[in-house]
Amino acid sequence: MMLLAITVSFSAFTALSLAMDRHQADLHGKAAATPTRRRAWRWLGWALLALSFGLCVVDHGWAAGPVLWLGALTISGILIAFGLYPFRPRWIAPLAWALPALGLAVTLFAR
């Protein structure tokens, strides 16, 4: 479940970055960055952040869970900002779908 929590935080940060016009423009061009769409991305991003927090707490408890959550955010953010946006922007959206799916699969199989 740890892997699922980390991958969901990756998707959360992806959604939050797409709520910003600069990164929306990076991926989909200027026209796509309408205020309505950006608001939708922002809601989705915060919802996913909350979900990944929940997963961390369920997995590691109230003491170590928040620590895990912050670590997950750090690693996701670094990957997005240093790796994907400058070097492989096309990979971001597919990874934001595929990674949580992978995380879910690993969680289910590891039971």
Partner 1 sequence: MKNGFRQSMAWLHTWTGLLVGWLLLLIFMAGTASYYREEISRWMRPELPRSTVDADVAAERAITFLQHKAPQAESWNVSLPDPRNPAMRMFWRNPESMVKPPAEGEKRRRRGGGRFGDATVDPNSGQEVAARETRGGDFFYRLHFDLHYIPVLWARYLVGFCAMFMLVAIITGVITHKKIFKDFFTFRKDKGLRSWLDFHNVSAVMALPYHAMITYTGIVTLMFMYLPWGVSVAYPKDEDAFFSEAFARLADIDTPSEGRAVALPIQQLLDSARAEWKGADVGGFTLYHPGAANAVIDIQQRDGKRLSVDTPSLRYNAVTGALLEASPAAGGATQTRGVMYGLHLARFADWGLRALFFLSGLVGCLMVASGVVLWAVKERPKHAKSGKIGFGLRLVDALNIGAVAGLPIAFAAYFWGNRLLPLQMAERSTAEADVFFYAWGAALLAAFIWPKRMMWAWQLYLGAALFALIPVVNALTTHAHLGVTLRSGDWVLAGFDLTMLAFGAMLAYCGLRMQRWQPALSAAGKKRQAAAKAQQHAGAEVGA
Which of 58, 64, 108, 110 is close enough to bind partner 1 by CB under 8 A? 64
Does 99 bind partner 1 (CB under 8 A)? Our answer is no
Which of 80, 95, 96, 99 is close enough to bind partner 1 by CB under 8 A? 80
Q: How crowded is residue 85: how many other Cβ atoms within 10 Å of its Cβ?
A: 16
Q: How far is residue 89's CA from residue 74's CA, in Å, rounded to a whole number?
A: 19
Q: How far is residue 75's CA from residue 67's CA, in Å, rounded to a whole number?
A: 13
Does 90 bind partner 1 (CB under 8 A)? Our answer is no
Instruction: With CA atoms as reference, report the closest residue to 27 among 102, 78, 77, 93.
Output: 93
Positions that interact with partner 1 (CB under 8 A):
2-3, 13, 16-17, 20, 22-23, 60, 63-64, 67-68, 70-75, 77-78, 80-82, 85-87
